[in-house]
Each structure stands twice: as C-alpha cells, then as structure tokens.
Structure 1
Amino acid sequence: MIQWFPGHMHLTQKAIAARVKDIDVVIELLDARLPGSSANPLLAQLTAARPTLKVLNKQDLADPARTAAWLDWYNARPETRAIALDASVAAPARALIDAAQALAPQRGGLARPLRVLICGVPNVGKSTLINTLVGRRMAKTGDEAGITRMEQRILLADDFYLYDTPGMLWPRIAIAHSGYFLAASGAIGRNAYDDEVVALELLAVLRQDYAALLAARFGLGDPADVAARTDDALLADIGRRRGALQAGGRVNLQKAAEVVIGEFRAGTIGRITLETPERFAAWAEAARLADIERERRRAERAARRKGGRGAHRDDSDDLED
C-alpha cells in the first residue's frame, strides 16, 4: 500500500485548520480522472462546517460520461456544488467564481468580501488554475508533487479573496486503489512507489474499461484479446513494442512502466476515468470494514496479552501456596 505524507504537509494541515475559521467557501480541486481518490478525507474533516465547491479539473483528459456521473454524485451532497473544467482554459475557469459566490450568497461587496480557500492533492492543477484566474503567472506549476510550499492570498476581485494552500494528502490512504491511482496521476512523490506496480494497477483498469483505447495506442491488436490478457503480459508487450529492451532482448519492465504511466498522465491513451462513484463507494466500504476487523484483532491481541500476564501471576500465586 502506498503512503506519502512529508513534513510540509503536516504544516499545511495546521495552516488549513487555522485559516478555515475565517473562510466562507472551500474549493477542493479534484482530478477528474480519479474524482473519489483525489478527494482528501482529512480536508473534509478540517472544513466540515463550510460549503464546498468540488472542481473536477483536467476534464479534457477524463471520460465525459463518468465525469457527468461524478458531478451528479457530488451535487447530491448537502452544502456542496460541483463543476468540471480544464484549468488552462480561461472561460470555464471563471465559472468557479460564480459557483463559489452562489454557495455564500450572504457575502459580497467591499464590506463583506467573499473569503475562499482553495486546496487539493499535489499536482492536481491548482497553480495552473490560479494563474488562469488572475491572467498572469502567480504560482509555480509543474508535473510533479510538492511545487507549492506556502500559503498565498490572491485578490481575484475587490470582494473576492482566494487563499491558496500547498497540495496535501492524508497520513494513511486506507483504500489501496486510491494510493495507486494518486501515484499514477503524479500526486505522490516518486520515491514512495514502485513504477511497475503502479503501471500494473493502471493496466488492470484500462484493459477492463478501455481495452479499445489501450489496443489502439500501443498496437496491441483485438480489444477483446487485450481485455482477456494478464496485466503482466500487457506490460511486457507494451515494453517490446516501445523498444524498452535490455541485453538479450529481455523487456525492461521499469521502462515499460514509465511509458504506461507517462502516457496516462499526458492523456495520449485517450480520455480515461479510473473509477465510478459506485466502484469507489464499494472500495471505501471494504476499507472501512477492513479497518473494523483490524481494530477487532488488535483488541483481541491486547486482551490476550493482558490475560497472559494475569495467568502468569495466578500461576505464581499457586506455586507460592
């Protein structure tokens, strides 16, 4: 299971907890290709008392039908609105200002400016969005986790204050799929995961849901055959077709994995969304039940250890008698 929570994220958590007391609306930027996995449960706890705008960013890389399903899913929640956009396109990006104002209609004007906190996991496109909103380069951007490292206050209008925060994950990613998908998207630092394992998890979804796209991009033949093959066989075949070979003609699986992950991030395989609301809900429920079982076993072990110590004392007393 993949976990990544460097020290600056702990500081971000504390900063958000302090800032949210003065915030009217929270904008959480999500990756439209993984709208459930890129939603931070820790952030939900920190901002539970505030209306939230979920922005499914990078919609141009995502499956349109699944994006629509996720928008319906988030919009059905109380005190929540959801929109989808591509942060590099100016007109859709401006739509989030109106959406934020609709969540706090009592705020506005110079006397009561709207105070908005924008946050999200690393590498979700937040800096690109901010630069688009202000019309100039305000924030550093890059295709890696951890670019933004400090809070910024940005004046988008005379009565609209936007507080930017560094990308933040959460200390324990309970849903295994989420860890792999976040790694595939670039939200997790490279030292925290194995490229080959992440690529295999990607291929497991792609051959099931997007076999035709996978076959077309890598020249793998009949989509039905692609869907029936193992993930390991697909990764090796992709490596051969892309020239990722070692001495003796053996496939360099590390290089093949980098190809799969890189093409997913760039969107060159096609418009892909790795999860549906129903599938993600099932994963979350399985993780919840696993946590309950883990706690039960831990309590049983503690009880046995305590009982063992008591039995030892009783045996000693019997010997003394």
Structure 2
Amino acid sequence: MNINWYPGHMKKASDSVQKNLKLVDIVFELLDSRIPISSQNPQINNIVGNKPRVVILNKSDLSDQPTIRKWIEYFKEQGIKAIPVNAVSGRGIKDIINEANEQMKEKMERLKKKGIKNKPIRAMIVGIPNVGKSTLINSLAGKKSARTGNKPGVTKGNQWIKLRGNLELLDTPGILWPKFEDQKVGMHLAFTGAIRDEIMDIETLALRLVERLLKIAPEMLVERYDVNIEDLPALEVLNNIAEKRGCIIKGGEIDYTRVAHIILDEFRRGIIGSVSLESPDDI
C-alpha cells in the first residue's frame, strides 16, 4: 500500500507555525498515544527549536496503559514532559494547564517584577490533522471554543482562544510532512484514521490491521469476534469475522468492504480493545 500524501495547504500550515512561534510562550505537541512516533512530525524539533514544549498523548483511553507509561519515560529522557489525555472526557486537561504554568513560572515572576501582572500564557498546538485537536481545544477552554479575535501586534487573521488557567491559545492548523519515508508510518496513520479512508484501499487496510493485531493482540480478536485464529493467515481470520458478522452478499461471497469498515471502526473506537501499535521498545 503506497501512501504519499502532502497537500499544499499542509506546507502552508508548517510555514505558519514557524512564523507564529514568536507570538507564543509554549508549544503543545499533540500526538496519538497509540502511535506517538508515527503521529509525530519528524521535523518538529527543528520547527519548535528551544521553545518550551509539552507533549500531549491524546486518546490515551484507547491505548495500552503500560505502554503509555513507557512513552512518558521515553519523552522524559529527552527532557520533555508527556501527559496522557482523553480530550473527549477531559481526563488530563488539568495536568496540561498545571504543566504550562509550571514551565512558565520563572518568566511570569520576571514579568511581575517589571510590574506586568496577570499576563496570560500564550500557547500553540501543533500536530498532524485528525488527532483530536478541536476536541482538545474545547476541553482546554471548558466549553465550545470562544475566540478572542485579533489583537494589536498580531498578524491579521490569527485567532486567540481563551483557555482555563490563564492560558490563551493561538489557533493554527495541524501540520504534516512532505512524504512518508517509512510505509509503516503511513499504515499506522491509516489504521487510526489520521488519513482519510476515501484515499485508501480500505479492504487491504483492514487486512493489514488484522495481520498486525494477530501479532500484538490476538486475544482481542478472539474475544471481540468469537473466531478461530489458530494457525490461520490474516485473510482466513478476516473471512471468519465476515461470516460471524453476516457480511455475506448474494452467492455466498464475502462483502469485504462491509467487514473492513466494521473492523476499522471498532478498532478506532476502542471496541476491540485498548491497543498500542508502537512502543519505545521498538525504537
């Protein structure tokens, strides 16, 4: 499955992030906790530079918890605080706010000594599209995001959103990289829905996901679909799931499109189980 996807607006977004960095105090890097490496822009260190950064491991409820703890330690070794978050439920949101205030504590103290009080901490979220940015913003704002509009000295068109904890967020689009050097990265992004199914061969994608789950979480396939997987290739397992779910068309043929949608949807929603597709042990 060949994936090479980099629309022009993504490059503009990346350029916009670099241009707007000077307007913010701290960067929130949003990753999918199931695939922290695949969902991380490999250019992020160059883009952000020495700007204070917090890694947000979103969709943590869909991930294997011991593996998330390994990722937290992995980023800690790089000097970066990583916070597991469920943006839908709001779990971990307070930790983000507290960490931003902690990292900006010295700067705020210096401003107070200069007579500048209650200056909001300005932040920016960067990350690839479709990893839950809008949901995260609404959770950080405590409501449907309320933009504060343009401010003096800010490039026309920049929107600031008031957050809890004396934070303001510069609303910028997500970013992606020019091409996938590693096809496994593209596959992981497709599994989790970061790449739209409309540009994918969805039947092959579901088959590849079954192959992956047979390696890392076979018991979840058995429990969810009540199928035999012993010594069977992925295609046979996929066929068994299709039969169990009634994905059969006229003439007794397998409806591969239908069963593919079922498997991908249930994986993405965590119905199959909490699965981490990547671990620091793999690096």
The two structures share one fold, judged by TM-score above 0.5: yes
Deviation of the 1:15 alpha carbon:
0.8
Larger helix share, 1 or 2: 1
Could you state the TM-score of these two structures normalised by the residue count of structure 1? 0.77
CA distance in 2, matches of 1:21, 1:15: 11
Matching residue's letter, 2:210? L
Alignment of 1:177-188 (within 5 A): 177-188=184-195
Asked if the contact 1:181–1:198 (Cα under 8 Å) also holds between the matched residues in 2, the reply is: no
Aligned residue for 1:121? Answer: 128
Aligned residue for 1:291? Answer: none
Aligned residue for 1:63? Answer: 64
CA distance in 2, matches of 1:266, 1:275: 17
Indicate how the Cα distance of structure 1 residues 96 and 158 shifts in structure 2: closer, same or farther if over 3 A, else same. closer
Indicate how the Cα distance of structure 1 residues 188 and 262 shifts in structure 2: closer, same or farther if over 3 A, else same. same
Identical amino acids, percent of aligned pairs: 34
Aligned residue for 2:81? Answer: 81
Aligned residue for 1:217? Answer: 224
Deviation of the 1:151 alpha carbon:
5.7
SS at match of 1:191: helix
CA distance in 2, matches of 1:39, 1:159: 27
SS at match of 1:188: coil
Aligned residue for 1:265? Answer: 268
Asked if the contact 2:138–2:144 (Cα under 8 Å) also holds between the matched residues in 1, the reply is: yes
Cα-to-partner distance string for 1:154-206 (whole Å, 9 max, x where unaligned) = 12258422123222221111121110111121111223321122212211221
Aligned residue for 2:103? Answer: 103
CA distance in 1, matches of 2:63, 2:159: 29
CA distance in 2, matches of 1:276, 1:63: 10
Asked if the contact 1:4–1:192 (Cα under 8 Å) also holds between the matched residues in 2, the reply is: no
Indicate how the Cα distance of structure 1 residues 48 and 216 shifts in structure 2: closer, same or farther if over 3 A, else same. same
Matching residue's letter, 1:186? G
Query: Which ranges in structure 1 are unaligned for 5 or more consecutive residues?
Result: 140-149, 282-321
Q: Which has the larger radius of gyration?
A: 1
Deviation of the 1:112 alpha carbon:
4.9
Counterpart pick for 1:236 among 208, 224, 239 = 239
CA distance in 2, matches of 1:49, 1:265: 34
Indicate how the Cα distance of structure 1 residues 246 and 158 shifts in structure 2: closer, same or farther if over 3 A, else same. closer
Indicate how the Cα distance of structure 1 residues 205 and 159 shifts in structure 2: closer, same or farther if over 3 A, else same. same
Matching residue's letter, 2:26? V
Supply the RMSD in Å over aligned alpha carbons. 2.0
CA distance in 1, matches of 2:28, 2:107: 16
SS at match of 1:137: coil
Aligned residue for 1:253? Answer: 256
SS at match of 1:44: helix
**How many residue pairs are counted as aligned between the two chains?**
265
Structure having greater relative contact order (Cα 8 Å, sep ≥ 6): 2
Could you state the TM-score of these two structures normalised by the residue count of structure 2? 0.86
